[in-house]
Amino acid sequence: MIPIKRTCHFLLDTQRGWDTYKIRYRIRYGRGYVTNIFIGHRADPRKWSRELERCLKNTTHGEERTPAAAINRSIQLAEESLAVAFSYYEDLERLPTPDELKAKYTEILSSRLGIELEPSPSAPPQGQYSRLLDLWDAYVAADLIRRGWGDRHLANLRTSRMHLEKYKAGATLDDIDERWVIDLVSYLSRKRGLKNVSIDKTLRLLKSFLRWATKAGIYSKDYQRFFELRLKGTDTDRSNVYLTWGELSKIYTMRLALHSERVARDLFCFLCFTGVRYGDLQRLQRKDVTAKSIRFFSQKTDSYTVIPLNDYARDILHRYKKEVFDGDRALPPMAEQRLNRIIKSVAEQAGIDTPITRLRYSGADRLEETYPKHALLSSHVGRHTFVVTALTLGIPSEVIRKYTGHKTEATIRPYIAIADQLKAQEMAKFNRPLHNVPADD
């Protein structure tokens, strides 16, 4: 199979005299081929996300007030159909002309819009693919929009695909059985040197893929028992990495020479003061900010979230009030990896170096590794800091869960244990000896 490199984008075609614009699918591929496909819908540019290339949720478009959900479903269907069309020619090891590609796309799309729904719109027939990795790509393309995966999850999927490719690039779906999974774990541990936490992440994604393949009717083995093996250290609690109020104050108030350091510091502190996920912070627009709160639909859960603003979070927003960012964002954009790298340096400058020891396993090998706290900081530590601080201040856990999106009490229980320990340490200050004073009569 010859992979066909391509770049595809959904764009709005500007038209004079129209309030809504045609949605065009632009495809660049192969040796300079360019073709366009019109989706059959129009969208209001004010209600269109250029970043997501989708209509904004809960909006309507045009005189007929077409719901965004209906337009986005058509966009998703076009994206999936084109992916299958490219896979067809990749299996043939032939680069199609634009006319051939559009003809195959139309054929696939028509089939999916017809009465007969087999195969499922979210899963192509196995016969179109010869390798496990091809089906993995089809799985990602089919479920990307339907399940609303964020950048972090997509990065995990790419990493897991890389592990599977290096393990057995030519494997087929039928090759996967209990022995295959055990050998995969052994390979990732011994040959790749991965920790059990990373191996477990790959296994969970592989299990989700097999669930998709089973529902699509292209896999029939009892895959659940393949994953009954136990990996030590996969339940390691990482909530113990957080900033104390004193450490957070140091970072928040320190003077920094570089603009990038100041931006990274402000974004990280905003996470600490609000508990939002970094993906939601980067999507936060000025319209989502009021004098008292921020309001948005969570990218991960789709739930409508309202978080009251404290003075520190409000001050950070005010610093960038006069600046203009792409997409009318409320705060400056910065790639999460870059923020994670810079905030480590900022914390090191602030002297955040409390040693933290982590216990990890690679296979059956036990590894104890000690790091200075600044080396473990990342955007997610901002959420940890917010939860621990809020619990220590006495805010009820059910209220905190509404802010952070934690679904169950169990997910927030490790933070409660930390907060209880901190309260006990503060209460212990009463154990200081009293001065010798006369007793009351």
Domain boundary among 235, 267, 286: 235
Domain boundary among 117, 138, 171: 117
Residue 64 sits in the same domain as residue 204: no
Q: What DSSP element (H or E) covers 356?
A: strand 355-362
Tens of pLDDT, residue by residue over 9-36, are 999 987 767 788 889 999 998 767 888 9
Tens of pLDDT, residue by residue over 130-178, are 588 888 988 887 776 556 566 677 788 889 999 999 998 889 988 999 9
Distance CA 6, CA 30 (A): 7
Tens of pLDDT, residue by residue over 6-15, are 999 999 987 7
Residues spanned by the domain of 204: 130-235
CATH at 205? 1.10.150
Residues 6+ apart with CB under 8 A from 225: 178
Residue 285 sits in the same domain as residue 399: yes
Residue 146 sits in the same domain as residue 266: no
Domain boundary among 235, 262, 294: 235
- Whether residue 256 lies inside any domain: the answer is yes
Q: Which residue has the higher pLDDT, 125 or 278?
A: 278
- pTM assigned to the model: 0.55
Alpha carbons within 13 angstroms on the beta-carbon side of residue 416 total: 12
Q: Which residue has the higher pLDDT, 248 or 361?
A: 248
Residue 178 sits in the same domain as residue 322: no
The tokens for 230 are 């136990």
Lowest model confidence (mean pLDDT) among 100-104, 300-304, 382-386: 300-304
Residue 268 sits in the same domain as residue 225: no
pLDDT value of residue 116: 39
Q: Which residue has the higher pLDDT, 46 or 121?
A: 46
Sign of the CA dihedral 431, 437, 439, 441?
A: negative
H helices of 224-309, in order, are 245-253, 259-274, 278-283
Tens of pLDDT, residue by residue over 246-265, are 999 999 999 999 999 999 99
Instruction: Domain count for the chain, please give it.
Output: 3
